[in-house]
Chain A
Amino acid sequence: MGRSSTVKETQALFQSLRSAYAATPNNLKIIDVYVGFAVLTAVIQVVYMAVVGSFPFNSFLSGVLSCIGTAVLAVCLRIQVNKDNKEFKDVAPERAFADFILCNLVLHLVIMNFMG
């Protein structure tokens, strides 16, 4: 009895999450997909390192950090672009996007240098 209610409750939770999520604007969803992609790539790299060992450690770090870094920057972009965020009301989304691009380019320069 308790178990089924828990299952039902979780199912209801997921349903409400899904419907709420469907209401988000499209550009935010794009950013979410991008973040998911970046994190997934990082996970695959960690699994690889777990399999073969961390021999060129700098390469591993640079690979993982590039993924995580770009994910973090995308999250920041999402925060700034989200219209519901009162704090960032006067920041134009284009400006946030430009910051995102710039920071990504700098990150990737450092990553490329560190990768060796």
Chain B
Amino acid sequence: MARSLPGFLAQIVAVALICCSFAAAASIFQPISDSHRSAALEIFDRSFGSLEETYEALRTFDVLGLERKPDVGTTACQSVSQTLASSSSNLKDIFYALKVNGVLKCELDAESVEGTVSTFQTAVGSASSLLEFYHSIGGLVLVKDQALKGDLFLADAEGAFRSIKALSQSDGRWRYSSSNPESSTHAAGLALEALAGVISLSSSEIDQSLIGTTKNDILKLFEQAEKYDDGTVYFDEEEIDAHESQGPLTSTWSVVRGITSFAAVTSGNLNLPGEKVLGLAKFFLGVGIPGGAKDFFNQVDSLACLESNRQVLSWNDSLCLIAIPLILSLPATVNSLTRKDALKVKVSTVLGSDAPPLMVKLVRAKDTPAIESQELKFDSENKVHVLETLKKSVDVGKYIFVFEIVFHDPEHKKVYAVESKAEVPIFLTGAVKVGNAEIAVLDSDLGSTETQKNLDFAGENLVSLSANHLQKLRLRFQLTTPLGHPFKPHQAILKLTHGSKVDHIFVVGSTGKQFEIILDFLGLVEKFYYLSGKYEIQLTVGDAVMENSFFKVIGHLDLDLPEAPEKAPRPPVQPVDAYSRFGPKAEIAHIFRAPEKRPPQELSLTFLGLTVLPLLGFIIGLLRLGVNLKNFPSAAAPALFAALFHLGIGAVLLLYVLFWLKLDLFTTLKILGFLGVFLLFVGHRTLSHLASTTSKVKSA
């Protein structure tokens, strides 16, 4: 545990606690900000594989107002020209190539444009699946919007409209093709965008009944939308493992694109309630900063569609709009009374642009009658609404403020979608005074005080007390808010730590203003494991709105407890210092056997010489006896055998010397086997020859 946290750090911890403990009904959404922009620069900072990814990156940068790298533009334009010129590109690639061109405005030659237009026209005529319609019609719309070719119309617009409509289902979803029974909301979005494209490309007006049924489909689709308690609205697929499903973000993006493009080309009311549009905006903003490129693109593109779905019609005055959502956000939900922070509220569009002139009103605070309704002043420099004077009777604590937005121009109410009553949790923090603190040791029977000391939590002095098991320890203090009301913190905890690191934790209870805890050691003897000795006393008082939460060692207590009986529970084993258990052990000094004393080398060599002497004596003795080699056979064959016999014996003796020097027993035995057999054979021949010679001499 850290030693005394400064108040400011405690406040940051409090904010973190607040962010984790939100009730679903009251939540904050922040519009797109600079942190989004820097995250986008990081996420999209790589080379792109396909034209689709390139388009996503370029569109995101465009919406966020970021500079793109120059080489990205040139390589992308090259890729676009190649794709349009090649005849083997499929519809999807050409479609995305044109989308990229829409952002980059590359130079394209007219021939390839003509080629793509004709590809698309034939594709529309022969399309059977939703994706084919989407890519081909979308491509033609892009060609028209980028003014690459004038006077572009669909040959059979109404037929195309009906074919796409045929794939719709009764619950508002769409199927991908007539052969595939799976339906999805993602497909619904694509279909609506394709239908909008058909309407914009038709030379004559489409039958109004068809458009009317499509509008009904949109409303039915919104009935399928998922909702959260805080008003967030989003679309998800029914079957998770459907073939094209990529998550709620992609499905909702597709629907938003679909309805905004549809609304842009039709007249009359779409009858989409403003709360639903606001709910969609909340969903995208609630994602925060996405981690992946595709999620980022989906979020940013949808928010851009929601913000800028104005349409310019040249022949029709009545604009059918989907309401533009406005977000009420607070840069800081934690305000400090000690610093006299003013509450700031910001109202902006989802992309962070300015809202039309309006006024923000604090209607009330939930469950707190003390806060009355008041208007917030608009600071035009910082574009925030400021609540300057929080009445003096507002104390520290957690509140839920209810804000209302009132437009200066009542017409704007139809154009913009805002929350009717925005509920925002606010934390007002302040310094809590700790007073009348005292610690005492009481005698149990009479309640008389043996020692009593006053505590000063601001100072550093530690008290020193002593007690035995028949006495009690009493700690008292009072907590008051800046306005003088009694304050009940989240944590008021007393901890007693023994020298052997065994600790005991108690909660300090309160009655009204006073916090008091009485530790009766008679009952706690067993809990303390009969450990007598010096205990350190620590007090922790903390709360989210308390700026000066503290954790303090008050002093020491010398506790005298009776001896532990045999059956008493042992104190729990304290965790061993990891380094002492897993660290290096003491060095072991090995004791080796002292080597034997060897004789000096000269002595050994002398005796080696002495050993040779008898051999010399033997040879001399043999010579004196008149040893001769007369019996050595003279004939060739026996002589050879005799010679081999002697050589064989010599070889065996040499083998023995080698055995002693470096061979091992098995090798020796192997070789000895061969030599022995050889020797036996040769020796037998020699000796039998000798024997026969001798017997001849004898008999002769």
A72-116, CB < 8 A from B: 92-95, 97-98, 101, 105, 108-109, 112-113, 115
Q: Which label, helix, strand, loop or mixed, suits the secondary structure of the B interface? A: helix
Given contacts A95-B687, A98-B683, A112-B656, contact A52 B614 (CB under 8 A): no
A17 in contact (CB, < 8 A)? no
Given contacts A44-B610, A45-B611, contact A97 B687 (CB under 8 A): yes
Complexed CA–CA distance, A53 and B596 (Å) = 10
B665 in contact (CB, < 8 A)? yes
B579 in contact (CB, < 8 A)? no
Question: In the complex, which residues of chain A have a beta carbon less than 8 angstroms from the beta carbon of B618?
Answer: 33-34, 36-37
Question: In the complex, which residues of chain A have a beta carbon less than 8 angstroms from the beta carbon of B694?
Answer: 93-94
A51 in contact (CB, < 8 A)? yes
Given contacts A41-B611, A98-B683, contact A112 B660 (CB under 8 A): yes
Q: Are B607 and A53 in contact (CB under 8 A)?
A: no
A14 in contact (CB, < 8 A)? no
Complexed CA–CA distance, A109 and B684 (Å) = 21
CB < 8 Å A-B pair total: 78
Question: In the complex, which residues of chain A have a beta carbon less than 8 angstroms from the beta carbon of B676?
Answer: 105
Complexed CA–CA distance, A37 and B625 (Å) = 15
Chain A contacts to B: CB under 8 angstroms: 26, 29-30, 33-34, 36-38, 40-41, 44-45, 47-48, 51-53, 55, 92-95, 97-98, 101, 105, 108-109, 112-113, 115
Chain B contacts to A: CB under 8 angstroms: 596-599, 603-604, 607, 610-611, 613-615, 617-618, 621-622, 625-627, 649, 652-653, 656, 659-660, 665, 668, 672, 676, 683-684, 687-688, 690-691, 694
Q: Are B659 and A112 in contact (CB under 8 A)?
A: yes
Q: Are B607 and A44 in contact (CB under 8 A)?
A: yes
Q: Are B621 and A33 in contact (CB under 8 A)?
A: yes
The chain B residue with its CB closest to the CB of A42 is B614
Given contacts A105-B652, A108-B656, contact A41 B614 (CB under 8 A): yes
Q: Could you show 6 A-B contacts with beta carbons less than 8 Å apart? A: A36-B614, A47-B607, A51-B603, A94-B694, A105-B649, A109-B659
Of the candidates B625, B652, B660, B690, which one forms a contact with A26 in the assembled complex, judged by CB atoms under 8 Å apart? B625
Complexed CA–CA distance, A52 and B598 (Å) = 8
Question: In the complex, which residues of chain B have a beta carbon less than 8 angstroms from the beta carbon of A92?
Answer: 691
Of the candidates A40, A55, A97, which one forms a contact with B617 in the assembled complex, judged by CB atoms under 8 Å apart? A40
Question: In the complex, which residues of chain A have a beta carbon less than 8 angstroms from the beta carbon of B599?
Answer: 51-53
Question: In the complex, which residues of chain A have a beta carbon less than 8 angstroms from the beta carbon of B604?
Answer: 52
Of the candidates A37, A94, A109, which one forms a contact with B614 in the assembled complex, judged by CB atoms under 8 Å apart? A37
- Shortest B659–chain A CB gap in Å is 5
Of the candidates A37, A40, A52, A98, which one forms a contact with B603 in the assembled complex, judged by CB atoms under 8 Å apart? A52
The chain A residue with its CB closest to the CB of B628 is A26
| CB-CB nearest 10 A-B residue pairs | A37-B618, A52-B599, A94-B687, A33-B621, A40-B614, A48-B607, A94-B691, A37-B614, A55-B596, A112-B656
Of the candidates A30, A52, A112, which one forms a contact with B625 in the assembled complex, judged by CB atoms under 8 Å apart? A30
The chain B residue with its CB closest to the CB of A56 is B596
Q: Are B656 and A37 in contact (CB under 8 A)?
A: no
The chain B residue with its CB closest to the CB of A115 is B660
The chain A residue with its CB closest to the CB of B653 is A108
Complexed CA–CA distance, A97 and B665 (Å) = 27
Complexed CA–CA distance, A38 and B621 (Å) = 13
Complexed CA–CA distance, A114 and B684 (Å) = 30
- Shortest A82–chain B CB gap in Å is 16
Complexed CA–CA distance, A92 and B690 (Å) = 11
The chain B residue with its CB closest to the CB of A94 is B687
Complexed CA–CA distance, A90 and B442 (Å) = 122
Question: In the complex, which residues of chain B have a beta carbon less than 8 angstroms from the beta carbon of A105?
Answer: 649, 652, 676
- Shortest A42–chain B CB gap in Å is 9
Q: Are B622 and A101 in contact (CB under 8 A)?
A: no
Q: Are A109 and B660 in contact (CB under 8 A)?
A: no
Complexed CA–CA distance, A51 and B602 (Å) = 13
Q: Are A44 and B625 in contact (CB under 8 A)?
A: no
Complexed CA–CA distance, A29 and B621 (Å) = 9
The chain B residue with its CB closest to the CB of A33 is B621
The chain A residue with its CB closest to the CB of B686 is A94
Complexed CA–CA distance, A115 and B656 (Å) = 11
Of the candidates B596, B614, B649, which one forms a contact with A101 in the assembled complex, judged by CB atoms under 8 Å apart? B649
Q: Are A33 and B652 in contact (CB under 8 A)?
A: no
Question: In the complex, which residues of chain B have a beta carbon less than 8 angstroms from the beta carbon of A101?
Answer: 649, 683
Question: In the complex, which residues of chain B have a beta carbon less than 8 angstroms from the beta carbon of A29?
Answer: 625
Complexed CA–CA distance, A34 and B622 (Å) = 9
